[in-house]
């Protein structure tokens, strides 16, 4: 084999190796997206960890890895959760630095901040609440049919609406004011949009029931609770929703 033939062989070999690697990435990505559809967080996070090792600047990998870190972190023991949420925040911010045009990037950033807020100081919660609202508005501007963004926005409105006058006074005095907006009516609108887009996702319907309950509208709460409990439980989120539904059902008796 002459030098030219060797060179040609090496070029063909390297090209085939590159193509094979690209094909492997595509297959792995497809598997990861299927896990996302199934809400299989344990296997999904492993897939996107592997993909990020191959390409740490791929926006789609970063966004989905952030999503899985936020969601998988929620089902871990408490002492492991914050590390996952902080990683989710880092990955979301990195994705947005590369491309701020995607609704998913703004959504996963808001999701990570929401998770972090569960164990944050009051001052940090208020600062994050303002940023969460901004990120969700951006996500929905790009994609008005993003059910996840509508869901978090519904929780945001309900949280702000649920502050007592004393809490609002304290926040205004100590932390620069309650984020503008926030009403139970807007929370209902947001959760309703999420249900329209994803009618079989139990958690949307549970959150509608819970919002009506907080408003003191028990009749409406019972209607949506019944709708939520009638849906099949096919994912870990659905099973969590079932537990929450049972708790709410007890309160409504």
2 exposure class (CB count in 10 Å sphere: 0-12, 13-18, 19+): exposed
Residue 31 has a pLDDT of: 96
Tens of pLDDT, residues 34-67: 999 999 999 999 999 999 999 999 999 999 999 9
The domain limits of the chain are 40-119
Residue 47 neighbours by CB under 8 Å, 6+ apart = 28, 29, 31, 32, 35
Q: What local confidence, expressed as pLDDT, does residue 12 receive? A: 53
In angstroms, what is the C-alpha Rg of the chain?
22
Contact 248, 51 (CB under 8 A): no
- 181 φ/ψ sector (left φ>0, alpha ψ -120 to 50, else beta): left
- Contact in structure between 83 and 90 (CB atoms under 8 Å): no
> Which portions of the chain are predicted below pLDDT 70?
1-23, 174-175
Task: Compute CA distances 117 → 28, 83, 127, 159, 166, whole Å.
Answer: 32, 13, 10, 12, 21
Give the integer Cα–Cα distance in Å for 83 and 201: 27
User: According to the model, what pLDDT value does residue 22 have?
Assistant: 63
CA 71/CA 40 separation, integer angstroms:
10
Dist. CA 47–CA 33, nearest whole Å: 9
Distance of CA 100 to the CA centre of its chain: 17
CATH architecture group of domain 40-119: Alpha Horseshoe (1.25)
Distances (CA, A) of 128 to 132, 224, 228, 233: 6, 30, 30, 32
From residue 54, alpha-carbon distances to 7, 21, 22, 89 in Å are: 27, 10, 10, 20
In sequence order, what are the residues at sequence separation of 6 or more whose Cβ sits closer than 8 angstroms to the Cβ of residue 119? 81, 82
Taking the C-alpha atoms of residue 104 and residue 27, their distance in angstroms, rounded to an integer, is 21
Three-class SS of residue 223? helix
Q: Looking at residue 126, what is its pLDDT?
A: 83
pLDDT of residue 19: 42
The span from the CA of 31 to the CA of 45, in Å, is 11
């Amino acid at each position: 084999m002459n030098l030219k033939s060797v060179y040609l062989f090496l070029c063909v070999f390297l090209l085939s190796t590159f193509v094979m690697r690209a094909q492997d990435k595509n297959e792995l990505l497809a598997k990861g997206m299927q896990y996302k559809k199934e809400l299989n967080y344990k296997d999904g996070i492993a897939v996107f960890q592997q993909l990020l090792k191959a390409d740490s600047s791929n926006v789609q990998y970063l966004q989905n890895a952030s999503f899985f870190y936020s969601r998988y972190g929620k089902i871990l023991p408490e002492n492991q959760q914050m590390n996952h949420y902080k990683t989710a925040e880092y990955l979301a911010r990195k994705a947005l630095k590369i491309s701020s045009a995607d609704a998913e990037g703004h959504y996963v950033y808001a999701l990570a901040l929401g998770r972090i807020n569960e164990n944050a100081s009051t001052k940090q919660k208020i600062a994050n609440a303002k940023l969460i609202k901004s990120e969700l508005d951006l996500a929905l501007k790009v994609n008005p049919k993003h059910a996840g963004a509508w869901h978090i926005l519904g929780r945001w409105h309900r949280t702000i609406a649920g502050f007592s006058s004393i809490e609002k006074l304290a926040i205004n005095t100590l932390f620069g004011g309650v984020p503008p907006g926030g009403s139970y009516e807007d929370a209902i609108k947001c959760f309703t949009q999420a249900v329209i887009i994803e009618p079989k996702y139990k958690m949307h319907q549970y959150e509608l029931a819970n919002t009506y309950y907080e408003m003191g509208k028990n009749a409406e709460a019972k209607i949506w609770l019944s709708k939520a409990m009638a849906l099949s439980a096919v994912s870990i989120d659905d099973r969590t929703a079932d537990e929450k539904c049972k708790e709410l059902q007890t309160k409504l008796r």
